[in-house]
Structure 1
């Protein structure tokens, strides 16, 4: 069944005979276009697959840690953003309960036991020591060094000064010292002394006796008091621990109630154990999502991803049938989220240095700047959970992304990367400073940190984009602008070969490039790719350039000596040879597509009809005269097919008047439509109308009527005279 637009096109062309031959239009074996329903289902399948994959990957990143990066998860971390309680909750505070019980335990007095015999025992040991020391001093048979060793052996706790004093003291002073020492010990036997009182008691005793004794005697008495005056009221550890445990147990668990909206932590604070406990109770500080948190992030991510996919389908429908480009968008989005998850939580200043614009700059440079702006909006909203839903950081990421998309949209020099990085850094600093003004937070150290972070962000954005765009482009099959500019330069070896070995083909390719590039600009596709693809689309003619009429300058047509089958094979093989040369010279896949698709699956119509005349329809295999294809899969390759057809038709036409050019263009484009060669290209009828108008406008500029200046001198005088008359009129 014919669609209305097909009927209109069919009415403009002569009727095709049953054999599929039309000598006027060269339309052979018409096949209706593929139905729109199939294309719609294909788009939906890609859209659903992309949305589901992006959602699951994003949810995995967001659910990696406890909360989506909103708060630190342990004491000592720095708070990124102030957190308020989302709901009312009451919980038992282990921290406050432990503090209360520790206080109760500390307030419980220790239990002491009095040992009445302890000081008597130490007094007896001191008396024995003094008696033994007296015997050593009285032993005249011992040498001084032996006597000293005996003193040290009797009491190793003596200081060196005390040992010397004992050795050198005479008998009278020694007896006074011994008597004074025993008297003091006897006086303290009946005292109740605790450990904390001993130091004070020793100091008091020494102060009392210091005026009556010599310095050597004071040294000896001080050591004896230190060694043998001990506490006799001791702590009963068992009973004390029991009492304190009872006091701890009497303290009831402390309950804490958090009201909705209550500030739990403020931005920049260091988390305390009590803060961490509150976050734990609210489900914000654990290492695993609670059910509500997981559900909330899931719904949030699903909404963002769904809206993004719908926007892609509405604004950039072609991308939904190009899985590698969808994969590129998904990878840069999820990659930036994963990097942010690792870098930002718990480190607030890292957010200002985080190069989120790299992903957007890659999309802008490799795909499309408006598409990159849309990706920037999605990236900023997906990063919001990681930044604690900080409005400032969301705006910061969004602004950097938009500026990066604009700055990186057409990078044709390496220094343009650093200019783009500078633009990102300035935007970063401006947005951060604006929010500091709004919050009246103009701390000089904070501003310095922000400026440093912005500088790091700009440098990283430039370096990472410059270092990765070629690799990312090759992985995802996207040809970069720098590659295309390099391929378009006349010094390229393969382009030089076309110029020198097949000059007719070279000039034909230049004209095709001019036609297709202008049309590409008007329908909004990659005009640089179209121009480069047009330059190389006939590169296969280098193998046998003399088989093609544009290179037959001496008038000798080799096809007059060949059979139709041999001629068709030679012509059709230029597609195969072109692909071989493209691979040999490592042309990008996007450029190779122009070589294999610019003829689609059309027939070499002239030679096919010649074969029918010679052998008859029954003996001619149509497949031998058909190009291998495939049909153009993109708008860009379809434009080169149309420009190639139009340029060849106009070059062969004898009448190039304005009306004739318009008819030729209309006829060539309609033929490709009815042959079904444009079915896979996603060109719309509106696009085709724009393309036809563009072709006609350019061809009129090339083949416009010129004045016949048979006499150059008369013509020059005529022009000068006319200009002089015009100047006189203006002066009058």
Structure 2
């Protein structure tokens, strides 16, 4: 993988975007099926396919009807409570999540209805929900469905009863028809398959590309079909490129052994480094020979950003220098390309620091863009008088490269975290969300422990900021440090009801074992929910490591 992209070859004369130095004509009469034109027609056909949605989900309808019955029963009990004040009744009703925004006038009408009227409202509300949920309610069209509720209410109800039934029914409607990506993709695939082949024909001596014209992708396709773009392997350069790749790899490993020895002996981290470097070299080998714009658009700093964010700054520096040398060799031993790629990567690695926020990547990308502009000006300013447009285009490409590298690094970070058990910022942000399944379990099954964990997280985060530690990792680790209490929540004082302590019925050894076991239980839950290794470490370490 490391050697193949380094193999210098005699590149084709023309690339897309180049200017043709002379007229290029077809040597003979020639016809072929154009893959580019057919792909364009297929794309147009697929774009015209109407999205496919699922049928209304009856399970959702039953779920909402059951919930509506529960709420209506509750409302009936509130209405029947003659000892409660009107304000208390209103407060109890507004405490129901579905009815939290019920208008005051509707509340008044609901409580003032006679029992017979309330019975009619209950029956009509359930009937309206049943009718509405049998129809397709697509995501994004919920308000349309709610606006249609008045048309479903029976005319036998009084105005007050109708208003209450409408208000109640509206709150229990939910989307029941969702975009079906698989069915839509199948429909688009059928639309693509229905596109017939597109035949292009050239007569002998017909001009394919005129002198001075900009070469387009279709022109490249014709030249390839006619065999007018041939590459030739030079085996002496192959051997030289292979030896250079071996030397560069050895130097990279020696640097990491000196400054990041743990990385070399960590199987997962070293595999990640090899994979990222290999893919970066491959991408550089494909883009650098592809013309001036592609050469300066190659996101080589993305490797340094990724290595720094996941493996440490020394890894970022090493890979930046390594990839800079590779880029220079691929660009026919270009000092300009070596400097451009190496310094861009070094700036990325040295300005990134910790990735506690996504903005840190783009801040580093901005510094990369600035470094690229400086390098382009240094190397191309002497020729700017003859080709002023070339300097501007190259500088703009270097600016775009910084943003592209940061965006690419951000996207890859989302993938490598779970795959290689690396605690990336994006993974920590995801784990810090209160809707994470394990945090939801902690909230429901051990609410006091959940509150305690939040308080610990706030305190620990402030302490981490003071001493320069990873504040985000500290906060997230604190969220999960006591998840083991989910197994037996009421054996821990914060979850106990006053006067009810289950430890009073246990002997001391069993009682202590229950307390100690919350660490083991927490580790088991952490593995089940696939928490990263660095977050799992908070579970045993918050009681020491001799548990």
TM-score w.r.t. length of structure 2: 0.52
Gaps of 5+ in 2: 19-229
Provide the residue aligned with 1:405 in structure 2: 349
The secondary structure found in structure 2 opposite 1:58 is coil
Does residue 461 (structure 1) correspond to residue 405 (structure 2)? The answer is yes
Any idea what the Cα deviations from partners look like across 1:187-233, whole Å, max 9, x if unmatched? xxxxxxxxxxxxxxxxxxxxxxxxxxxxxxxxxxxxxxxxxxxxxxx
Following superposition of structure 1 onto structure 2, how do residues 563-602 of structure 1 map, counting pairs within 5 Å? Answer: 563=507, 566-579=510-523, 581-582=525-526, 587-595=531-539, 598=540
The secondary structure found in structure 2 opposite 1:644 is coil
Following superposition of structure 1 onto structure 2, how do residues 110-509 of structure 1 map, counting pairs within 5 Å? Answer: 287-291=232-236, 293-345=237-289, 347-414=291-358, 416-437=360-381, 443-485=387-429, 487-488=431-432, 493-494=439-440, 500-502=447-449, 506=453, 509=456
Asked which structure has the greater CA Rg, the reply is 1
Provide the residue aligned with 2:5 in structure 1: 61
Cα 1:389–1:497, aligned 2, differ >3 Å: closer, same or farther?
farther
| Structure 1 residue 552 displacement after superposition | 6.3
Partner Cα separation in structure 2 for residue 77 and residue 532 of structure 1: 50
| Structure 1 residue 419 displacement after superposition | 4.1
The secondary structure found in structure 2 opposite 1:384 is helix
CA contact (8 A) 2:446 2:495 kept: no
Cα 1:286–1:507, aligned 2, differ >3 Å: closer, same or farther?
closer
TM-score w.r.t. length of structure 1: 0.40
| Structure 1 residue 583 displacement after superposition | 5.8
Provide the residue aligned with 1:188 in structure 2: none
Cα 1:551–1:471, aligned 2, differ >3 Å: closer, same or farther?
same
Cα 1:583–1:534, aligned 2, differ >3 Å: closer, same or farther?
same
Partner Cα separation in structure 1 for residue 296 and residue 245 of structure 2: 24
The secondary structure found in structure 2 opposite 1:302 is helix
CA contact (8 A) 1:358 1:461 kept: yes
Any idea what the Cα deviations from partners look like across 1:415-474, whole Å, max 9, x if unmatched? 555444333323222211111235676621211321342244234223323333202322
Partner Cα separation in structure 1 for residue 333 and residue 401 of structure 2: 21
Cα 1:337–1:438, aligned 2, differ >3 Å: closer, same or farther?
same
Cα 1:312–1:415, aligned 2, differ >3 Å: closer, same or farther?
closer
| Structure 1 residue 381 displacement after superposition | 1.7
Cα 1:507–1:475, aligned 2, differ >3 Å: closer, same or farther?
closer
The count of residues paired between Structure 1 and Structure 2 equals 333
Does residue 545 (structure 1) correspond to residue 489 (structure 2)? The answer is yes
Any idea what the Cα deviations from partners look like across 1:537-571, whole Å, max 9, x if unmatched? 22111332343466668587644532455335423
Cα 1:365–1:286, aligned 2, differ >3 Å: closer, same or farther?
same
Any idea what the Cα deviations from partners look like across 1:349-392, whole Å, max 9, x if unmatched? 32111111122222223332343122211221232211222111
